[in-house]
Structure 1
Amino acid sequence: MLNGEKSLQKPLRWGMIGGGRTGQVGYKHRTGALRDHTAYRLVCGAFDIDYERGMDFGLNLGVARERLYPDYKTLIAEEAKREDGVEVVTIATPNFTHYEITKACLEAGLHVICEKPLFFTIAECEEIAALADRKGLIVGVTYGFTGHPLVHQMAAMVKKGMLGEIRIVDLQYTHGFNAGDDSNASEAQRWRTNAQTSGPTFVLGDIGTHIHYLSEIVLPHLRITKLLCDRQSFIKTRAPLEDNAYVLSHYDNGAVGRLWVSSVNAGSMASQRYRFVGSKASVEWTDTQPNELIYEIQGQPPQILHHGMPYLEEESLRYERMGALHTEGLGDSWANIYLWIAQAIDAKNRDDEAFLKTHHYPGIEAGTEGVRWLEHCVRSADNGGVWVPYS
């Protein structure tokens, strides 16, 4: 169980690029990084493309005025002059900037934590992975939902054969917050529906990569062999970007998968749902009830497993924070993600490759796989919703 004690000798000096007052994700990053006050210390930022607004925001966060910068290039240059300069930066900016900012930070010797989807192409991912390797640096990716303890309970149950052979993977991440047009959309929403700033996808990249990655955590032994993607732009001004999509998958063990992702599921607050069906039993989990896992063994009454209880697997209990009598939520999940990345950075700084070989965190490989999945989805959809081999 996690209780906030330090796992690093001293907190990492941390900065943010983006994630300011008008962003949708900045607070989630700060909640995750600063939850325990032992892994990170926020020392600088270039929070906003509007410098005055970013300055005002940063001051309200308690960052020193002289360490609030108008852009990421100035942040890198000025922090490099300081003995106490920043060590790791979070990139919480629109998708089209991820590659250039990540590259610049790595070249300056900084570890990076980046929003997803990581980049636009596999080629960019491979280039950045090689650069990070040469520099001896970590690139973390914020798949923020996989820090929930019961996600790792599902993974442990699959690994130990409690479900039998996996047959069906049923995934859903939907909401209705974009069911109307974009005439009154916020700044943070407008760039997501613009192909120049969002990239080749909208909901597939914005929320679909979350559920794809979570399925990889639960089913690390399975590989997709082919997929079919059918995507729609119900709000026509968003075309060619989709606001709804279906993805069918075949896996190398014979299992099949179905994924529905949508931001036009009008009235829905259901968010995410995961169901993994095996030959013996099934498990089902949703982020709207993150403290309960439904376990259904064929021929027996359904069981509800509750987080933090001693009957759970150690893989789940080690990431527990609140205890069984108290609810855990998204902030706890983000805190776990940020802690895992901090531990990876600390190990890399100490050249502890043995630790890194067994340590779980969403890194450059996870980000690359997300981009690979998106490329295959786009290829399938743009060719009329056909099956494409997955490689």
Structure 2
Amino acid sequence: MINGSKRIPQPIRWAMVGGGRDSQIGYIHRSAALRDQSFALVAGAFDLDPQRGREFGVQLGVDPERCYADYRSLIEGEAGRADGIQAISVATPNGTHFEITKAALEAGLHVVCEKPLCFTLEQARTLKDIAFSRNRVVGVTYGYAGHQLVEQAREMIARGDLGEVRMVHMQFAHGFHCEAVEAQSEATKWRVDPRFAGPSYVLGDVGTHPLYLSEVMLPDLKIKRLLCSRQSFVKSRAPLEDNAYTLMEYEGGAMGSLWSSAVNAGSMHGQKIRVIGSRASLEWWDERPNQLSFEVQGQPAQVLERGMGYLHPHALLDDRIGAGHPEGLFDAWANLYYRFALAMDAANRGDHEQLATLRYPDINAGVEGVRWVERCVHSADLGGVWVDY
């Protein structure tokens, strides 16, 4: 079911902080946000170098007067305009997320923030309190959560196709940092520096992605306790880890594992989730996003394809092109940005009934990501012991 009319009545007036010319993630944000005309990029503070940021903003079609030197002048300048921004996307290093998001929320703006939302659970709860008190939407960019087959997996698990869920195996383990690439790459250098990345590297950078996929697929599965072991195989990265193993025990007795790594040599991306039940299992891999593996004990394995009529209606809502054509990262991100826009528009209108029907990685998802990283680091630093969640 192809939906070619995904629109909200008026695009959200939107700005970016960070995401400049050489930023891969900035390009992804813009491509996703502008895909369905749900957002209009009207301002930004795109670069630490104000002149370079202004030149880049003008290339994007932004009025040079609305290309600001930093997020503070952006928020202040836009607040004085009748056509000022309504939302900000934060695409800056981790260490800045809390202060920028907090300032934007306090100014009455909606926020889309890169993960991790911040460094500590206390900070995350502060942001949540402000967002709720101001009736503002916070979206967190767990991008692949917008893929249709993640919705299909959620529906299959909910209707009992797998039987009782026993195990959840997750990983996001690529190999692109199996050597000290940060010596030549500024984009990687800050990720392995605690001053800018916080208490974790791969746990927060990649591990929280499949963790959120599990939360989408298994909303009733709650972590009871966890055990984490983390390693710095490239020694110069210590105390931050470039590899980590996390075991989780869920309420009710199910078990989970999550492998987070940047040193899985030869792996292109390696983000997978496998849910194992008493009768069947399913598996999704973001490098082959059009396929969902479904394996019933004693029967031939099946591969479910995106866009086919046998899928659940919720897995067909966001189709952008017919079955057989690949949809991937940009489409999944665009689906999330469309949901962010719907939520922001509903909040602006005070439509709490519609807000309650929308599901997207929200402030609660951001809080849980911070909580998980914090507990993993705590467990690992104690020598890899079980800690209550």
Give the CA deviation at 1:142. 0.8
Which string of whole-angstrom CA distances, capped at 9 and with x for unpartnered residues, describes residues 286-330 of structure 1?
Answer: 001000111101100001100010100112111222121321111
SS in 1 for 2:275: strand
Match of 2:146 in 1: 147
Q: Give the TM-score taking structure 2 as reference length.
A: 0.98
Q: Give, in whole Å, the separation in 2 of the partners of 1:241 and 1:343.
A: 38
Q: Mark the CA change 1:274 to 1:16 in structure 2 (over 3 Å): closer, same or farther.
A: same
- Show the counterpart of 1:22: 22
Q: What is the letter of the counterpart of residue 50 of structure 2?
A: Y
Q: C-alpha offsets along residues 9-57 of structure 1, whole Å, 9 cap, x if unaligned?
A: 11000100001123231011011101112x1000011001011221221
Question: Residue 368 of structure 1 aligns with which residue?
Answer: 367
**TM-score, scaled to structure 1:** 0.97
1:109-144 CA-to-partner distances (Å, cap 9, x unmatched) read 111110001011111111111111121211111111
Q: 1:318 to 1:220 in 2, by over 3 A?
A: same
Give the counterpart letter for 1:155 in structure 2. Answer: R
C-alpha separation between the residues in 2 aligned to 1:6 and 1:26? 22
Please name the residue that 1:231 is paired with. 230
**CA displacement at 1:185 relative to structure 2:** 3.3
Counterpart check, 1:13 vs 2:13 = yes
Task: Please tell me the residue identity of whatever aligns with 1:100.
Answer: E
Q: Which contiguous aligned blocks of 4+ residues in structure 1 show a shift greater than 6 angstroms?
A: none
SS at match of 1:294: strand
Distance 1:176 1:328 in 2: 24
1:190 aligns with 2:189: yes
Instruction: Confirm whether residue 316 of structure 1 aligns to residue 311 of structure 2.
Output: no
Specify the SS of the correspondent of 1:52: helix
Question: 1:278 is matched by which residue type in structure 2?
Answer: G
The whole-number CA distance in structure 1 between the counterparts of 2:22 and 2:151 is: 33
Q: Indicate the residue corresponding to 2:48 in structure 1.
A: 49
- 1:34 is aligned to 34
Distance 2:279 2:385 in 1: 32
CA distance in 2, matches of 1:272, 1:90: 24
Whole-angstrom CA distance in 1 between matches of 2:10 and 2:212: 30
Cα pair distance change 1:183/1:156, threshold 3 Å: closer
Partner of 1:169: 168
Q: Counterparts of 2:304 and 2:88 in 1: how far apart (Å)?
A: 37
Secondary structure of 1:82's match?
coil
Query: One-letter code of the match for 1:335?
Result: A
Quote the sequence identity (%): 55
Deviation per residue, 1:260-299 (Å, 9 max, x gap) = 1110111211421111000110001100100011110110
Aligned to 1:261: 260
Q: Which amino acid aligns with 2:177?
A: N
- Cα distance, 1:366 vs. partner? 0.5
Counterpart secondary structure, 1:288: coil
Root mean square deviation of aligned Cα: 1.1
SS of the equivalent of 1:386 reads: coil
SS in 2 for 1:25: helix
In 2, Cα distance between equivalents of 1:330 and 1:207: 15
Match of 1:70 in 2: 69
Letter in 2 for 1:27: Y
Question: Taking structure 1 as reference, are residues 343 and 121 closer, same or farther at Cα in structure 2, changes over 3 Å only?
Answer: same
Paired residue type of 1:344: A
CA drift of 1:333 comes to 0.1
**How far, CA to CA, are the matches of 1:100 and 1:304 in structure 2?**
45
Structure 2, unmatched stretches of 5+, are none
**How many angstroms apart in 2 are the aligned matches of 1:160 and 1:112?**
34
Instruction: Please list the CA deviations of residues 82-120 of structure 1 after superposition, one character each: whole Å capped at 9, or x if unmatched.
Output: 111111010001111111111111111111110001011
Provide structure 1 residue ranges, at least 5 long, that are not aligned to the other structure: none
Aligned: 1:305 with 2:304: yes
Secondary structure of the corresponding residue to residue 91 of structure 1: strand
Shift of 1:211: 0.8
Shift in alpha-carbon separation, 1:103–1:183, aligned structure 2, 3 A: closer
Q: Is the 8 A contact 1:24 1:188 kept in 2?
A: no
After superposition, the C-alpha distances for 1:124-175 in whole angstroms (9 at most, x for unaligned) are 1111111111212111111111001001100000000000000111111111
Query: How far is the alpha carbon of 1:65 from its aligned partner?
Result: 1.0
Rounded Cα–Cα distance in structure 1 between residues aligned with 2:199 and 2:184: 20
Residue equivalent to 2:221:
222
Per-residue CA distance 1:327-386 (angstroms, 9 max, x = gap): 111100000010111111111111111111221111100000000101110010000000
Report if the CA contact (8 A) 2:282-2:292 is conserved.
yes
Measure the CA separation in 1 of the matches of 2:170 and 2:280.
17
Classify the secondary structure of the residue corresponding to 1:357: helix
Q: Which moved more, 1:40-49 or 1:21-30?
A: 21-30
Question: What residue number does 2:281 align with?
Answer: 282
* Matched-pair contact (CA < 8 Å) for 1:20–1:47: yes
Letter paired with 1:5:
S
CA distance in 2, matches of 1:183, 1:378: 22
Give me the whole-angstrom Cα distance separating, in 2, the residues matched to 1:235 and 1:191: 15
| Distance in 2, Cα, partners of 1:145 & 1:4 | 20
* Corresponding residue number in structure 2 for 1:211: 210
